[in-house]
């Protein structure tokens, strides 16, 4: 029997149409539920931001096999960079006038600036930090994350003018993160991660996780790939921060505490380190569930941490392990199975 094999363009068409379908579905839900729709929209946007955060941490945590604890720091840098840019542009007046088309270039530039600034910070932190491993890497990234927060809180007194507005918070940021912006950016981020991981660079990153010494001995420049993955992850976290700033409208350094990094880490670990699907599922569940069960919110962090410990003891691989879902492969499998059954019947 000849096995059916989907060509790459066909796979892209399938995935793109499914993505568009998901967007239509989400906007219909938001539109159809009227007043509650605004509330749902908020949850959906938060879910999207958390998906970017979790999958970007998964690049370093799951694919590269390191444990950084400063992810919130990159998110903070991206958020402040994007917010300060947006405040400097006439975006707020455009937004009030409802001129969405003229807003688009500003949004794109803000996101790129966030990615760039977070990437620069990722590079500055990654080069020294990635010389260390395991616990030391964890603690040094934690240190950097905390330094970023302290600097964001106190930088104004050094600069002598209002830049980040310190602990009192950066307010009146144009709220540009609509459902569409969130959806397109999230889809793009996931696509970028997927493409990166399927390329030879992605395989090099995976080989470093599996055995760094062996990877080095077959000629992979481990320092380069470690730094690349780290910077890539930081850039995406910056993008997530930019979306967050545009959704929430005001930024406080205390949002980006160590606790935030751990929240993101919980999503990655529960979903399965090394599985994009796992990160996405746990980002969706862990964001939507506490929102749906308001009474439960007091216990949220207790349950998170308990889940983390139990997961490590009983299922250290996480929900999905390193399994990743591919629509194309699934369709192939189904079609092949049907054909096989038909052939058996014909005989």
Partner 1 sequence: MSFSLLVAQLINGLQTGSVYALVALGYSMVYGIIKLLNFAHGDIIMVGAYMVYFAIASFALPPIVAIILAVGVSTLLGVLIEKVAYTPLRSAPRLSLLITAIGISFLLENGAQLVFGADQKSMRSMITGTVSMGSINISMAAVVTILVSVAIMILLSFVVNKTKMGKAMRAVSEDMGAAQLMGISLNKTISMTFAMGSALAGVGAVLYLCAYPQASPTMGSMLGIKAFVSAVLGGIGSIPGAMIGGFAIGILEALVAAAGFSMWKDAAVFLVLIIVLLFKPTGFLGKKIQEKV
Strand partners, 251: 170
Note whether 20 binds partner 1 by CB under 8 A. no
Note whether 136 binds partner 1 by CB under 8 A. yes
Which residue, 217, 242, 241, 220, is CA-closest to 229? 220
Note whether 305 binds partner 1 by CB under 8 A. yes
Note whether 295 binds partner 1 by CB under 8 A. no
State the binding string over 200-219 for partner 1 (x if CB under 8 A, else -).
-------------x------
* Choices 127-135, 173-181, 224-232, 287-295; region in contact with partner 1 by CB under 8 A: 127-135
Q: Shortest distance, CB of residue 33 to partner 1, whole angstroms?
A: 33
Of residues 238 through 277, those in contact with partner 1 by CB under 8 A are: 258-259, 262, 265, 269
Q: Is 67 helix (H, G, I), strand (E, B) or coil?
A: coil
Note whether 65 binds partner 1 by CB under 8 A. yes
- The answer for residues whose C-beta is within 8 angstroms of residue 112's C-beta and 6 or more apart is none
Region of residue 40 (left: phi > 0; alpha: psi -120 to 50; beta: else): alpha
User: In Å, what is the CA distance from 122 to each residue of 116, 125, 127, 276?
Assistant: 9, 5, 8, 21
Note whether 153 binds partner 1 by CB under 8 A. yes
Q: Shortest distance, CB of residue 159 to partner 1, whole angstroms?
A: 14
* 280, 235 contact by CB (below 8 A): no
Q: Shortest distance, CB of residue 150 to partner 1, whole angstroms?
A: 4
Q: Sort 87 into a burial class: Cβ within 10 Å, 0-12 / 13-18 / 19+.
A: middle
User: Among residues 26, 110, 138, 286, which is the contact residue for partner 1, using CB under 8 A?
Assistant: 138
| Nearer to partner 1 (CB atom), residue 67 or residue 117 | 67
Q: How far apart are the first and last CA of the chain?
A: 12
Rounded CA-CA distance 195/204 in Å is: 13
* Choices 124-132, 196-204, 230-238, 321-329; region in contact with partner 1 by CB under 8 A: 124-132
Question: Residue 167 has which token pair?
Answer: 């602990």
Please work out the total of residues on this chain that contact partner 1, with binding judged by CB under 8 A. 40
User: Among residues 44, 47, 54, 67, which is the contact residue for partner 1, using CB under 8 A?
Assistant: 67
| Nearer to partner 1 (CB atom), residue 61 or residue 115 | 61
* Choices 18-26, 85-93, 94-102, 138-146; region in contact with partner 1 by CB under 8 A: 138-146
Rounded CA-CA distance 64/24 in Å is: 35
User: Among residues 316, 325, 340, 342, which is the contact residue for partner 1, using CB under 8 A?
Assistant: 316
| Nearer to partner 1 (CB atom), residue 179 or residue 262 | 262
Note whether 306 binds partner 1 by CB under 8 A. yes
**Any idea what the Cα angle at residue 128 is, between residues 123 and 131, rounded to 5°?**
120
Note whether 120 binds partner 1 by CB under 8 A. no
Note whether 312 binds partner 1 by CB under 8 A. yes
Note whether 304 binds partner 1 by CB under 8 A. yes
Rounded CA-CA distance 33/25 in Å is: 12
Strands (E), 45-183: none
| Nearer to partner 1 (CB atom), residue 176 or residue 256 | 256
Rounded CA-CA distance 235/127 in Å is: 15
Rounded CA-CA distance 141/70 in Å is: 5
Rounded CA-CA distance 271/280 in Å is: 8
Residues at the site binding partner 1, with contacts judged by CB under 8 A? 65, 67, 69, 128, 131-132, 134-136, 138-140, 142-144, 146-147, 150-151, 153-154, 157, 213, 258-259, 262, 265, 269, 298-299, 301-302, 304-306, 308-309, 312-313, 316
């Amino acid at each position: 029997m000849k096995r059916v094999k989907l060509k790459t363009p066909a796979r892209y068409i399938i995935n793109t149409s499914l993505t568009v379908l998901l967007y239509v579905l989400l906007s219909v839900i938001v539109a159809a539920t009227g007043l509650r729709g605004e509330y749902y929209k908020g949850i959906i946007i938060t879910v999207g931001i958390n998906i970017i955060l979790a999958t970007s941490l998964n690049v370093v945590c799951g694919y590269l096999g390191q444990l950084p604890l400063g992810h919130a720091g990159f998110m903070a840098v991206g958020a402040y960079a994007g917010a300060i840019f947006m405040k400097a542009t006439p975006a707020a007046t455009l937004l009030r006038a409802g001129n969405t088309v003229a807003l688009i270039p500003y949004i794109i530039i803000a996101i790129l600036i966030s990615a760039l600034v977070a990437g620069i910070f990722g590079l500055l932190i990654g080069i020294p930090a990635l010389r260390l491993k395991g616990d030391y890497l964890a603690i040094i990234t934690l240190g950097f994350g905390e330094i970023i927060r302290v600097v964001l809180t106190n930088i104004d007194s050094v600069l002598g003018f209002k830049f980040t507005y310190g602990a009192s918070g950066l307010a009146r940021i144009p709220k540009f993160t609509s459902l569409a912006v969130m959806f397109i950016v999230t889809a793009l981020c996931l696509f970028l991660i997927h493409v990166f991981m399927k390329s030879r660079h992605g395989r090099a990153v995976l080989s470093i996780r599996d055995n760094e010494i062996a990877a080095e001995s077959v000629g992979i420049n481990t320092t380069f790939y470690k730094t690349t993955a780290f910077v890539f992850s930081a850039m995406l976290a910056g993008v997530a921060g930019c979306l967050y700033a545009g959704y929430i409208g005001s930024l406080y350094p205390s949002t980006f505490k160590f606790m935030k990094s751990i929240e993101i880490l919980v999503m990655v670990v529960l979903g399965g380190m090394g599985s994009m699907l796992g990160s996405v599922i746990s980002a969706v569940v862990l964001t939507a569930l506490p929102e749906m069960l308001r009474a439960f919110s007091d216990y949220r962090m207790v349950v998170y941490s308990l889940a983390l410990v139990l997961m490590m003891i009983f299922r250290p691989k996480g929900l999905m392990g390193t399994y990743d879902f591919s629509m194309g492969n699934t369709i192939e499998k189904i079609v092949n199975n049907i054909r096989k059954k038909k052939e058996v019947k014909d005989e």
